[in-house]
Structure 1
């Protein structure tokens, strides 16, 4: 089975709490064991930030939240779980002891992942009775947003376990990458350690301060790495001749004394204080949770941008987000087309940070997005969903007229209602109202016309009978409703 039905998280710190958030927001009931007296508060704060981030990340319908239950023993936590994630502190004796307890109490078929940042799984699975199902699932913080998990097997881990783990991560929006061999610190942390070591020397030697170093990363190669990684970036740097030319040109630099890669800096009290003071000057104006929220918004913005690249197919983490959203739409309950002589509520959303302009108001084209998303909701309601589009049929917007009446601001909850105007079903003619949820204030209207087409034939054709069967009763009942006062307006007309 390639779906996680029940999860258990052992350890509720920064990583364990974020794993729990990832599971719960994917609709998975999760049990948490952590003896820390404030574990519920800490995990609750992580969960709140995760829910906020998901609200910014996607408008796809998330499944009903899973239930998060705090329990008093490891045995209670792992009972019935088919994915168990260990995230206790990075001490081999502690981790080995906890994993052995998990192994003894869990279903023999349950997968057991460790969040260790660098301990090899062979060391961790030493005392287990069922070591073949134990592996490292090393994530990146925040786990609920960053989708990667390095999957590393030990000497006794079965290859099937790693493939199954990779398959089970996909439906919760994560990308599992299987390493061919185990190695201390795996891939990501070995790369990070090299950069971190060099950075410490640059601070110690007063080449720059922490803010300058971070600026060098985030304004240059950090952005390249975010969407292409290292080798694909360097392939482009090689020009038309590609990677071979790049290596021939820059490979000799590796023998130059540019780095102190194996020269470990002495983290004495003076250097620690120096780094801490510079870090306080750089970021001390922000609280810890506030920095988390800023980080999350930035990550969401990057992933949203990557989602629209490559001709709308997405790139890197953006492509993965597109695939995750497609899964969410496919898994979501189908909205019912219930004929009723009143406007249909089609959309509920919030004004995201990326939706506001320099005035702090929702940007003009985002009003259009709300109406477009509402129109998509209507299409799903009548069966013109992603499968319908994949089969070569769709409705295309051919005309629209908007009125902007009031301002929406960051964080405002919004909703859209629609009335279907008299039409034949080959065309769908609607009038939509955008409201602010807090006071029902009318913010904008849109008169909207869509035309059914066959993408294979490249022309307008009637919709399939299955769509008309749901659409026509709605058209008929709305025909009895009075026309909206401003329906049929053109630009420049006086308001009625």
Structure 2
């Protein structure tokens, strides 16, 4: 087995467009030195823009720090760019004559044991190897944009490629955090683009015939089957659709519709017993270790995670859920303005929600980090109620939390209803002191005491809040002054006086 930790080296990127820039980022941020050749005078600027995006996104994808970034250099000749490179990635335009010319030049100057990967989305490796001095060096390594984030890379080889070289290519790609899909045999456009091409052709017909707009087609994908495909693909999704009877039942139930003129793609394979057996047997191998109920639960948890991530960015299905939540806020008793509160003398309802699946830890209950998450949401609601909303923050003022004390009193599991009610303990000068109490029904789950300071976002220093914020805080603090001081207020960690 090849040790992935020993795979860092020097990569040459030939062609610095969107795909080449993505490859440069993938290698560079995984510790490789990267040497770029592209005759475009704007190549360095363009690649640095890609790198700016990659440096923001890729480190947050995993939970382990990336290695020290490699060295990036730009070169005016192919011979200089490939010097010392153990991996060469070609990403020039999709012209076979151009690619063959590039390979011939590369092989004049590169190391004999360097791997030359092509980003081609359509050409077979045998076509790329056709005029090569050393065809055994050349493979297809077709990625997906953005290359620095999406893990799939289609690795396509021929009989000319030695097994040890193919194994080395797979090991290097895996060491970059990618998932090399090694094709059983070469075929035009490989696997993924053939699937995409089928959907793309049908989409163009739907637009041409006036059936749907581009936005409506995109919505059909991103609000529907695209979410399922993102976490289970095609066959596992259809296995679930077959219910407890599995894939064979699905094919028997829906197979006949393949012959119906639903799409423009009418060249349909015959559903022979041999093909049905092959699909069903492969599906059993792929997914048979799970019952249908288990697959359904896995699917649901994955999809909740995907859509909640989208909601954080207010995008796609997540934006739809955010709008749905907003429409239900009033019925839940949550408000966003001080004047909308029916009774200022009672603790504010600042959170009313259920415990989502992705808030659970290895003990099967809400993880301690999510208690803070929920209390942070409660603090955000108080800020909004007193006028420290998005517009106020954009104008340069906000509150920063400077001290927090949480008591974990009881556990709660997925689906349980949560409420947090908040008391404004004090609001003097630049400070705001809050008390949050989290309940599920009659049970008190946790409490949190937060101290916040108003900050000028221009200077990043403590400052007095604006007059309208001061007035709202004074009004709320006066109303809450008559409330009993909560048990546990001011308690130090481990203080035995309060449980």
Q: Same fold (TM over 0.5)?
A: yes
Tell me, in whole angstroms, the C-alpha distance in 2 between the residues paired with 1:239 and 1:89.
46
Shift in Å, 1:101: 1.3
Deviations 1:189-241 (A, max 9, x none): 00000000000000000101000100000001000000000000000000001
Distance 1:169 1:104 in 2: 25
C-alpha spacing 1:159/1:213, structure 2 compared with 1 (3 Å)? same
Structure 1 pair 226–163 and aligned structure 2 pair: CA distance change class (3 A): same
1:148 and 2:145 are equivalent in the alignment? no
**Cα distance in structure 2, aligned partners of 1:160 and 1:296:** 44
For residue 69 of structure 2, what is the aligned residue in structure 1?
Answer: 65
Q: Residue 118 of structure 2 corresponds to which residue in structure 1? A: 114
Q: Deviations over 1:272-303 (max 9, x none)?
A: xxxxxxxxxxxxxxxxxxxxxx999799x99x
Instruction: Give how far 1:139 is off.
Output: 0.3
Distance 1:368 1:86 in 2: 55
User: Does 2:411 match 1:406?
Assistant: no
Q: Which residue among 193, 200, 208 is the counterpart of 1:196?
A: 200
* Corresponding residue SS for 1:220: helix
Distance 2:101 2:452 in 1: 61
Trace 1:252-401 onto structure 2 (pairs within 5 A): 252-261=256-265
Q: Which segments of 5 or more consecutive residues in structure 1 lack a partner in the other structure? A: 264-293, 313-350, 370-399, 413-436, 442-484
Matched, 1:139 2:143: yes
CA deviation map 1:392-440 (0-9, x unaligned): xxxxxxxx9965333899xx9xxxxxxxxxxxxxxxxxxxxxxxx9669
Report how many aligned residue pairs link the two structures.
318
Give the secondary-structure state (helix, strand or coil) at the position aligned to 2:40.
Answer: coil
- Closer, same or farther in 2 for the Cα pair 1:28/1:357, shift >3 Å? farther
Change (3 A) 1:140 1:255: same
Distance 2:84 2:77 in 1: 14
1:31 aligns with 2:35: yes
1:53 Cα deviation (Å)?
A: 0.9
Displacement, 1:163? Answer: 2.0
Match of 2:230 in 1: 226
Contact 1:30 1:67 in 2 (8 A): yes
Residue deviations 1:57-83 (CA, integer Å, cap 9, x gap): 234211111111001111111111111
Q: CA RMSD for the aligned pairs?
A: 4.1
Structure 1 pair 208–179 and aligned structure 2 pair: CA distance change class (3 A)? same
Secondary structure in structure 1 of the residue aligned to 2:246: helix
Aligned equivalents of 2:205, 2:123: Cα separation in 1: 25
Aligned residue in 2 for 1:209: 213
Contact 1:56-1:297 within 8 A present in 2 as well: no
Residue aligning to 2:82: 78
TM-score (norm 2): 0.57
Contact 1:87 1:115 in 2 (8 A): yes
Aligned to 1:97: 101
1:223 alignment partner, SS class: helix
CA contact (8 A) 2:14 2:38 kept: yes
Task: Give yes or no for contact 2:405–2:449 (8 Å, CA) kept in 1.
Answer: no
Deviation of residue 134 (structure 1)? 1.1
Q: What per-residue deviation string (whole Å, max 9, x for no partner) do you get for residues 304-338 of structure 1?
A: xxx969987xxxxxxxxxxxxxxxxxxxxxxxxxx
Other structure's SS at 1:7 match: strand
Match of 1:171 in 2: 175
Correspondence for 2:240:
236
Whether the 8 Å CA contact 2:11–2:86 is kept in 1: the answer is yes
Q: Looking at both structures, which has the greater relative contact order when contacts are Cα pairs under 8 Å and sequence separation is at least 6? A: 1
Evaluate the alpha carbon distance shift between residue 245 and residue 47 of structure 1 in structure 2; reply closer, same or farther with a 3 A threshold.
Answer: same
Label 1:257 to 1:73 Cα distance change in 2 as closer, same or farther (>3 A).
same
Q: Does 1:124 align with 2:128?
A: yes
Q: Determine whether 1:19 maps to 2:53.
A: no
In structure 1, the partner of 2:435 is none
